């Protein structure tokens, strides 16, 4: 199989070099660039399957580069930036990035995100959806096979966890409170204050999310309840 190529673009060469090592370890081809302009140049010269892009760079910053790339290309872009404000993240995603990772990042988490994006980008053709399959982003619930897959990988869940996921997936975007989840999944009225549900949710997140503290799918709406995001 042909090697998948990742374009690493960061003006700090130490970071670019480190990323190169990690990516090569994951069997990706790596092309390095140190400015936005070089990134565009590299993109036109090589076949690239994914871009890791810093924001604060000389000669065209990462956001401008993202806009330019999105004008003609559909390849996954993961922004890696020291800017950690919500507004920065929102801006990056709105300009066309697929993911946003803040510095300093956990290299393992970043690799997981790269793999996730890559799997979705390179999945040959679109898998014909069977009946009873619910899908949001890379998360697929096969109710007939009683299986949950993230980016194609099967996740092992306990029956209670599976019940919670089914409830939330069937009502994607809807927020359920702890009491509602308890009553519907346990089939018992909730009397006492219990944090059982919260504990289960946390475990599910640890199984399906790359970074459970910043969940992509199973989100906590603080003081209100939980939901599975609809993509």
Partner 1 sequence: MDTKLKNTSHFKWTKLVAIIIVWLGFLGTMGGCFYLFENRHIAKSSSYIETYSFENNFSELLYNTVEHYVTLQNEANIKYSTDDLHTEAENLLRFQRIKNQLSAIDNFFYYICNTENGETWSNLAGKTADPIQFIQKQPANAYFNAWTSDSSISISRNVESLMADSPYETYAAVVEPLQAGDLFYDDYMDYMQTKARINAATVISIISFILMAIAFIYLIYITGRREPEGQIVPDRTGRMYTDVHTILVLIAAMLSLFIAPGISVDVPKVLSIIAIAVVLSLDIFIGLFYVLSMVEQIKTGQIFTNTLLYKLGSALNAFLRLAFQGKVFKEWILLLLLGYGLINGLLFILCAETYRDYFGGVPFLFMLLLLLAFNAGSIYFAARSLVALPQIMEAVKEISAGNLDYPLNSTLIPASLAAFAEDIRSLQGGLKKAVIAAVKGERMKTDLITNVSHDLKTPLTSIINYVDLLKKENLENEAAAEYINVLEEKSSRLKQLIEDLMEASKASSRNLAVAGEKVDLQELMMQACGEYEEKIQKAQLELHILAADEAIFVRADGKHMWRIAENLLSNVIKYSMPHSRVYVDIASDNAYGTFTIKNISAFPLNIMPEQLTERFVRGDESRSTDGSGLGLSIAQSLTDLQGGKFQLEIDGDLFKATVAIPLWAEE
Which of these ranges, 26-34, 37-45, 99-107, 113-121, lies near partner 1 under the rule CB under 8 A? 99-107
DSSP state of 30: E
Query: Rounded distance, CA 182 to CA 63, Å?
Result: 44
CB of 226 to partner 1, least distance (A): 8
Q: How many residues bind partner 1 (CB under 8 A)?
A: 35
Cα 84 from chain centre: 17
Q: Is 84 in the site for partner 1 (CB under 8 A)?
A: yes
CB of 199 to partner 1, least distance (A): 5
Handedness of CA 40, 41, 45, 49 (dihedral sign): negative
Return the residues of window 139-178 that contact partner 1 according to CB under 8 A: 177-178
DSSP state of 176: B
Q: Is 221 in the site for partner 1 (CB under 8 A)?
A: yes
The 20-59 site mask, x for binding partner 1 (CB under 8 A), equals: -xx---------------------------------x---
3-state class (DSSP) for residue 145: coil
- For 106, the token pair is 């956990």
Query: Rounded distance, CA 112 to CA 135, Å?
Result: 20
Residues in the site for partner 1, rule: CB under 8 A?
12, 14-15, 18-19, 21-22, 56, 82-84, 102-108, 177-178, 193-199, 201-202, 220-225
């Amino acid at each position: 199989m042909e090697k998948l190529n990742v374009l690493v673009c960061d003006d700090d060469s130490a970071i670019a070099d480190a990323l190169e090592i990690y990516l090569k370890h994951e069997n990706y081809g790596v092309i390095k660039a140190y400015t936005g302009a070089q990134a565009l140049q590299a993109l036109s010269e090589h076949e690239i399957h994914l871009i890791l892009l810093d924001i604060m760079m000389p000669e065209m910053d990462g956001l401008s580069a993202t806009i330019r790339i999105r004008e003609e290309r559909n390849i996954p872009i993961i922004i890696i930036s020291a800017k950690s404000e919500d507004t920065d993240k929102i801006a990056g995603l709105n300009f066309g990035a697929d993911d946003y990772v803040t510095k300093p990042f956990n290299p393992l988490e970043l690799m997981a995100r790269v793999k996730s994006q890559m799997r979705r980008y390179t999945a040959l053709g679109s898998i014909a959806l069977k009946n009873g399959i619910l899908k949001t982003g890379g998360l697929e619930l096969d109710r007939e096979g009683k299986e949950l897959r993230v980016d194609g990988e099967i996740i092992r869940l306990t029956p209670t966890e599976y019940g919670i996921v089914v409830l939330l997936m069937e009502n994607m975007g809807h927020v359920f409170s702890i009491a509602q989840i308890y009553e519907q999944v346990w089939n018992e009225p909730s009397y006492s204050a219990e944090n059982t549900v919260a504990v289960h949710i946390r475990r599910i997140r640890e199984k399906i999310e790359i970074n459970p503290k910043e969940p992509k799918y199973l989100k906590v709406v603080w003081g209100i309840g939980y939901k599975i995001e609809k993509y």
